Structure 1
Amino acid sequence: MAVRQARLLLFFSILIFQYSSIVAADTGSAVRAFTPLRFSVEPCDVLAVRGLPAVLNCSVAGAEAVLARVEWRKDGTFLNLAADERRRLLPGGSLLISTVVHSKHNRPDEGVYQCTATLDSLGSISSRTARLTVAGQ
């Protein structure tokens, strides 16, 4: 009797598994497979010159790297690149500062930067940090 119940349980388990696989395939399951994402280039410390451009490099690699959204943080806070005409994201993911601003009391570009790549509904990765320092006056 116990052997018969075990066989029935196994049969129904297999049946349910196969049915759920078919349903997931038919409905285009919302579960996405793990996709490795990594940085092929991470930012490194930069010594910039006031009034000249500076670039912090960052590049994402992986099967879905083209779908990754790249953002930058400065001193732990995400940059709003749409509101800042001096800073812009280059096509590969690097950050361009067109004109480095630096004065005795105003140092908006100096700080610690970090690149973050996000795949929607899968997660994010963050690069190592890099310090941008402006050469002395």
Structure 2
Amino acid sequence: MSAQMEKGSRLRQEDSPPRIVEHPSDLIVSKGEPATLNCKAEGRPTPTVEWYKDGERVETDKDDPRSHRMLLPSGSLFFLRIVHGRRSKPDEGAYVCVARNYLGEAVSRNASLEVACVRRGPLELPDQRDPKLGCRKQREACERSSLHY
């Protein structure tokens, strides 16, 4: 990085546009659990970071102190608990972080956040000595389940 001399013989680094140095990664998280989408940006002056989900700006605790999403000082997005339901806007979606300063902006790669859903129902075991249990992913709303004897 180049530098120049200013009045008073102080050394000043030149300003630089933002760049993403840590991109977020895809996550699969259970409903109600905490999660973090990482993002780290560099630039001078230090860039501000905002997050977007499916093209819309994400509201964090900076906008609403009651939000379950927190923008960490590093620029990462922390979820106190993953929300997934009919009554609230779900957290599942495609996220990007955008870092900005007066010289421009940098956009991270997309990261998907998926809610893991365990679907429970009656368990029928085949009449064998070594039953095999399988698991498959289904893209549907998680429902509250109950255990029946």
Q: Which band: TM-score by shorter chain? A: 0.5 to 0.7
Matched residue type, 2:35 = A
Aligned: 1:93 with 2:46: no
Larger Rg: 1
Aligned: 1:61 with 2:26: no
Q: Structure 1 runs of 4+ off > 4 angstroms? A: 104-107
The CA RMSD measured in Å over matched residues stands at 2.3
Write out aligned runs for 1:76-115 (5 A). 76-81=55-60, 82-83=63-64, 85-103=67-85, 108-115=90-97
Q: Percent identity?
A: 40
Equivalenced residue count is 104
Structure 2 runs not aligned, ≥5 long: 1-5, 7-13, 119-149
Q: TM-score, normalised by structure 2?
A: 0.62
Of 104, 123, 127, the residue aligned with 1:123 is 104
Write out aligned runs for 1:40-59 (5 A). 40-59=21-40
After the TM superposition, which of the residue ranges 95-104 and 127-136 deviates more from structure 2? 95-104
Q: Is the 8 A contact 2:68 2:79 kept in 1?
A: yes
1:44–1:54 Cα change, 3 Å: same
Q: TM-score, normalised by structure 1?
A: 0.67
Matched residue type, 2:59 = N
Matched residue type, 2:116 = A
- 1:77-127 superposed Cα distances (whole Å, 9 cap, x missing partner): 11122135100101100000101111367561000000000003x211110
Q: Judging by fraction of residues, say which structure has more strand.
A: 2
Structure 1 runs not aligned, ≥5 long: 1-24, 26-32
Q: Judging by fraction of residues, say which structure has more helix.
A: 1
For 1:44, what is the secondary structure of its paired residue? coil
